[in-house]
Amino acid sequence: MIELRNIIKTYETKGQKVEALKEFSFNFKKGEITGIIGYSGAGKSTLLRCINLLEIPSSGEVLINGVELNSLTQKELREKRKKIGMIFQHFNLMKSRTVYKNIAYPLKGSGLSKVEIDKRINELLELVGLKDKKNSYPSQLSGGQKQRVGIARALANKPDIILCDEATSALDPETTVSILKLLKKINKELGVTIVLITHQMNVIKEICDSLIVMKDGFVKEEGDIIDIFSNPKEAITKKFLSSVFNNDKIYNYLENVAIKTNEKVIKLAYVGNAAEEAYISKISRNFNVDASILFGNIEIIKETAIGNLVVKFKGLEENILNSIHYLSQNNIYTEVLKDGRKTI
């Protein structure tokens, strides 16, 4: 659908060169929501702007449905861009125009009649839940309502793709969830492919199908959202995930927890069905190990449970090791966080 091939983007200002993108290649799948996460300065916004050639890559190719954008005339590119909607962190609405007029703006020159435009705007207002605000001005709206206008405007020309640049970063958590739900609905019901950039893992986990972790202009890690959440490989990915699973706080807390020589603190992580099996009680019964749960966090991502537990096992060394072996055999990731035999 959207194919980026070896995109390099170098900015030059006052003799200083910044390599914002370094050989970035990726194939965005049609109908999916792909999240791109990275810290500030990673090159996310540059990347998004390269997708519709608002930013011209220094080298590399952008293909949309197999058509290389660089090969298009200005007129063809303008037509192509109409099929790519964009939404922004600060909404970018026109302050002096009503909600209705803001949504109407991209329909200028569309060849639609006044009546058709009116019909389209009303459909969009209905879709984003702002029918009663059509004559309001942006200053009279909440942040969430402003972003709904931004979304309606982005959808005006019935795009195949929507690019979201930190679309929820200026919103409170509750409003963020409602905007993400709206984007999911648009993806599901209208089949719009969405590329969403953010620095928050909580945004990614709500709606994305796949994820790119970006660092210094590169793809550091990418894959299916469940694979990455259950088995992150790169340190930066683990760091982003620790905000979701609270790992840092748990590890800090554990540092001050004293344990006995016959105890170990173990992290267990699992995906899906493992949650339905009574593994903990089986361990107590079969291996004579007492297991107590210190922390538990279960996230539901795309209807799949991803669990992270921190448990304390107490018993004979051999029995604890057998328990760990048994869990690993049942596809539960295990990691000894603290070992009483070593700390005392």
Residues 21-50 within binding reach of Mg ion (CB under 5 A): 44-45
* Closer of 217 and 340 to ligand ADP (Cβ): 217
Q: Give the Cα-Cα-Cα angle 110, 116, 122 (nearest 5 degrees).
A: 110
Task: Rule CB under 6 A: choose which of 35, 38, 315, 340 binds ligand ADP.
Answer: 38
- The DSSP-derived string for 74-134 is HHHHHHHHHTEEEEETT----TTS-HHHHHHGGGTTS---HHHHHHHHHHHHHHHT-GGGT
Element (H, E) at 306: strand 304-314
State the minimum distance, in angstroms, from the CB of residue 46 to ligand ADP: 3
* CA gap 87, 149 in Å, rounded: 10
Residues 287-306 within binding reach of Mg ion (CB under 5 A): none
Asked if 26 and 202 count as a contact pair (C-beta separation under 8 A), the reply is no
State the minimum distance, in angstroms, from the CB of residue 212 to ligand ADP: 12
* CA gap 45, 164 in Å, rounded: 9
Binding segment toward ligand ADP, per CB under 6 A, in 11-19, 92-100, 272-280, 310-318: 11-19
* Closer of 48 and 84 to Mg ion (Cβ): 48
Q: What's the chain's Rg over C-alpha atoms?
A: 25
From the list Mg ion, ligand ADP, none, partner contacted by residue 16 (C-beta under 5 to 8 A by kind): none
Backbone dihedral region for residue 166 (phi beyond 0: left; psi -120 to 50: alpha; all else: beta): left
State the minimum distance, in angstroms, from the CB of residue 226 to Mg ion: 26
* CA gap 42, 32 in Å, rounded: 23
Q: Give the Cα-Cα-Cα angle 88, 90, 94 (nearest 5 degrees).
A: 95
From the list Mg ion, ligand ADP, none, partner contacted by residue 323 (C-beta under 5 to 8 A by kind): none
* Size of the residue set binding ligand ADP (CB under 6 A): 12
State the minimum distance, in angstroms, from the CB of residue 129 to ligand ADP: 29
* Closer of 156 and 195 to ligand ADP (Cβ): 195
Residues 42-71 within binding reach of ligand ADP (CB under 6 A): 42-46
* Closer of 8 and 321 to ligand ADP (Cβ): 8
Q: Which amino acid is residue 199, in one-letter code?
A: H
* Closer of 46 and 210 to ligand ADP (Cβ): 46
Asked if 30 and 1 count as a contact pair (C-beta separation under 8 A), the reply is yes
Tokens matching residue 124: 């969009």
* Closer of 171 and 265 to Mg ion (Cβ): 171
The verdict on 35 binding ligand ADP (CB under 6 A) reads: no
From the list Mg ion, ligand ADP, none, partner contacted by residue 35 (C-beta under 5 to 8 A by kind): none
Cβ atoms < 10 Å from Cβ of 243: 13
- Of 194, 198, 190, the closest CA to residue 240 belongs to 198
Residues 12-31 within binding reach of ligand ADP (CB under 6 A): 13, 18, 20
From the list Mg ion, ligand ADP, none, partner contacted by residue 46 (C-beta under 5 to 8 A by kind): ligand ADP
3-state secondary structure of 185: helix
* Closer of 40 and 329 to ligand ADP (Cβ): 40
From the list ligand ADP, Mg ion, none, partner contacted by residue 267 (C-beta under 5 to 8 A by kind): none
Asked if 330 and 273 count as a contact pair (C-beta separation under 8 A), the reply is no
* Closer of 55 and 206 to Mg ion (Cβ): 55
Chain residues binding ligand ADP by CB under 6 A are 11, 13, 18, 20, 38, 40-46
Chain residues binding Mg ion by CB under 5 A are 44-45
